[in-house]
Amino acid sequence: MRVNKKYSCLPAEEKGIHIINIRAIEDIGYDQHESTLLNSLSKNPDADCKYGLYFRDGKRKVDYILVYHYKKSSAGRTLARRPQQNDASVRSTRQDQPLPGKGVQLEMGDSEPHMDYHEDDKRFRREEYEGNLVEAGLELERDEDTKIHGIGFVKIHAPWNVLCREAEFLKLKMPTKKMYQINQTHGLLKKINSVIQKITEPIQPKVAEHKPQTVKRLSYPFSREKQHLFDLSDKDSFFDSKTRSTIVRKGEGRKKETALLNKRRKCGKYGITSLLANGVYSAAYPLHDGDYEGENVEPNDRKLLCEEWASYGVFYKYQPIDLVRKYFGEKIGLYFAWLGVYTQMLIPASIVGIIVFLYGCATVDENIPSMEMCDQRNNITMCPLCDKTCSYWKMSSACATARASHLFDNPATVFFSVFMALWAATFMEHWKRKQMRLNYRWDLTGFEEEEDHPRAEYEAKVLEKSLRKEHKHKEKHRYFPEETANKWRQRVKKVMAGVKLTDKEKLTWKDRFPAYLTNFVGIIFMVGLTFAIVFGVIIYRISTAAALAISSTPSGRSSVRVTVTATAVIINLVVIIILDEVYGCIARWLTQIEVPKTDKNFEERLIFKAFLLKFVNAYTPIFYVAFFKGRFVGRPGDYVYIFHSFRMEECAPGGCLMELCIQLSIIMLGKQLIQNNLFEIGIPKMKKFIRYLKLKRRRSLDHEEHMKKKQRYEVDYNLEPFAGLTPEYMEMIIQFGFVTLFVASFPLAPLFALLNNIIEIRLDAKKFVTELRRPVAVRAKDIGKWILLLYPCLFIPGLMAGYCYAFVISFTSDFIPRLVYLYMYSENGTMHGFVNHTLSSFNVSDFQAGTAPNDPLDLGYEVQICRYKDYREPPWSENKYDISKDFWAVLAARLAFVIVFQNLVMFMSEFVDWIIPDIPKDISQQIHKEKVLMVEVFMREEQGKLQMLETWKDKDKRKGENCNNHSPRLSRSRSGSLSSCHSYPLDV
């Protein structure tokens, strides 16, 4: 550590423990004083520090940890550029350093190896950066005598005055002394609420934060001038660990010139983000509150979360959202709150879906079309499914498929589609109200997000652009007089030192055009790749069906359709899982080359790209089966071919809805089981096992180090770093699309989504509590851009979801043809004869040359007329094989159903949106009440100030009268006497 006039530290030989103590006492700013050397070593150094949760003195709590790799220097090695003379030399030396990550020419002796230049540069940057932290008022303690070899830790503590100053800058709402009563329900509503509370008591988590509140403290943005308004009875708990780490890490909502770890003023040219990106520090994280398992573990929030939240044994309980927010921050708390609301809303959808499925099971034996298909007495001979190798087949062989289709394709499916469209709108309104309640409860009603700090990559790109421009100017003015050249050199030095120039540089669209072009071409290529893979699977289905049709066994020929569909879906599932991981990496790379300015912009662009690619990847096979399969087949004698040899696929006699159900169920369940659960459990376990093997190998080399108990920051360092909420949201959004867009074909989708989410909540909770480092708490009032991805099914369910439901019902299933036949063509008002009505006839003599079956007598008799599913004129008609009027009647009915259904769903969704207010009435009343109470508090304070001022004025007036009553000898010095009478201080 560099010895500086600003601070001092312990010598390096004392077991590598360095302590920096700085006192900042000014309210507006802070003054630096000479620090005293603190002896941190004692007989039992770990007794008071609670194994890393506190400094060595056992009093100052560790708010943040910085981790770095180090190599112990040899005796003769010295670090270049370590000025000891004065602050001016220090500043000049620091200004000569370029941006992090660029090489530095160190003035080393001839004996210094070249390979250590980079390590010395990192060490110099760490010392410079830690000096800036000390100047900001933080207290630091270094520890290199750890159980992990080659790893050093810097513990950071924010003293009280720094916390107050930063809380004021961040405008953190803190509880005041003023308490008020929350409006309670009366009459019938009160009785209903009490009954609901008694019923739900067994499923409530046993945490204090989850108990219903009757009183609430009035919150107000913290101000050092108004500290008397806040409840400072316990200063140690006034700022909890989540708030302290937020203040130290980001200074969220503050300008970048005044942030702490992202500090850039004075000598600090870079923040912790840049240092992490350039490897100066290897990690930066706040500490967990303590251990979560063990008999002698002290009670803490982490242990409570593990018992009441991150355990599969409490899957039936509500989540302690308030405790989650207290420990992890608002952003993570809102994610789990949204996931909890989504899971709760899946319960009624699952119940209705089960009822619809049971209705299909109960009426399968009464379904006339399927009974006609299964009746072998009808002796309906169907045309071959492929050329040459496929022979004629009996419709009764598709009996099982027809009966299974009725389970999902029945009149209740239409009702379920309408219900799910209303469910989507209700879910959105319910989440809006829940989010507003959380904003009120968490004091986020007046919170507004401000501009984030620029990313290190963006600043490096801007610096590179500035240097390039300065180099061009320098080349242009090379032959100018020496005075002009010196000016340009000074400007280049300013750019190198990180000082802002008058004409501030920024990246324009011209600078980003190559990246935009790469993004456009890359996305188009990957979307085309997805379509190509789906097309390849289609070729596989066609060729496999033709190959299996040659099978000599009747059972093999009868199960061709099921076998081909199942294997093709499994192939699609494997490809989707692989491409999901590939597309995630590619989307991140495409976003990185765009060089977004802030982390918020980076996250938004990454979300858009990843969602676009994963949506296309997951839904393309489903869209093909739902809307394209069987639409462009042609007819016998005039089929549509691919590559002049492969015929387009046909739907089964009962429609494509059963195949859509198989496709959706396997892809949905496979993604949930393999990608969401197995990967999330298996990959962290594998990484943890690899780390265990590495540590075991190290421990075998040093038995004494193995016997030492690890500090808290060492244990947390071995955990996985927090990678953000993007993967968690993404899998839920994709699942939401499965549940809403194509639920008409698979009524049990909400049930499987519910079961998955029950496991997902506890799995994610266990991961956050036990497997990941504690993330930095981030304030947020909503779930951000993720709500925009729910637009198709939430904000405008009458458009996207309504059209999906309508097209699936009208074009994929046989619901509309059945209605048309029942009301237009049925002779006795029943469905008898429907199957025969939907089949057209074909004369086998009209086959094209080389397309007729090789074995026309496979059924045991000669076939003259075969049937196929379509509405066309018979071969004995004048306009044989032309589209019949029945086709146009069914098409008109289908389009009419789409329009009516979509408008009905839109109207009902808008009605739900109108009838349910976004802000609950009691919350709006409470917010208004808070504003009135806050005005009253400040009015009373102002009145108290005025009364004090009047009192002091009265005293001043009486004192002046006493001065006028003095002897005449003092009248000549009256002015001096009066001035002396007014010399007392006035403190209001």
CA distance 24 to 134: 10
State the sign of the Cα–Cα–Cα–Cα dihedral 656, 662, 665, 669.
negative
**88: CB partners within 8 A, 6+ apart:** none
Backbone angles phi, psi at 644, to 5 degrees: 65, 10
pLDDT of residue 518: 92
Cβ atoms of 633 and 639 closer than 8 Å? yes
CA distance 891 to 901: 15
| 3-state secondary structure (DSSP) of residue 847 | coil
CA distance 65 to 158: 12
**DSSP state at residue 257:** G
Task: For 277-304, give the DSSP string.
Answer: HTTSSSEEEPPPSS-SSSTTPPP-HHHH
CA distance 925 to 920: 9
Beta bridge partners of 283: 67
CA distance 917 to 643: 57
Cβ atoms of 609 and 591 closer than 8 Å? yes
Cβ atoms of 55 and 713 closer than 8 Å? no
Q: What is the mean pLDDT, run by run of 10 residues, along the chain of 988 residues? A: 37 35 33 34 50 80 88 47 36 36 37 59 85 86 75 89 86 84 74 82 80 78 84 82 81 43 48 79 88 80 89 88 90 92 93 92 86 81 83 82 82 86 86 89 76 72 76 60 53 46 65 89 92 90 78 60 82 89 90 85 87 89 84 83 78 76 86 77 75 66 56 86 86 87 85 91 90 87 78 47 74 85 85 87 86 81 87 88 90 89 82 83 83 83 80 78 55 41 35
CA distance 188 to 196: 12
CA distance 28 to 258: 13
pLDDT of residue 973: 43
Chain centre distance of CA 637:
54
Chain centre distance of CA 315:
22
| 3-state secondary structure (DSSP) of residue 155 | strand
Cβ atoms of 577 and 674 closer than 8 Å? yes
- In order of 369, 376, 545, 712, the CA distances from 653 in angstroms are 10, 15, 16, 66
The one-letter amino acid code at 36 reads T
CA distance 981 to 958: 10
pLDDT of residue 179: 81
pTM: 0.80
Backbone angles phi, psi at 308, to 5 degrees: -105, 0
| 3-state secondary structure (DSSP) of residue 175 | strand
CA distance 834 to 475: 86
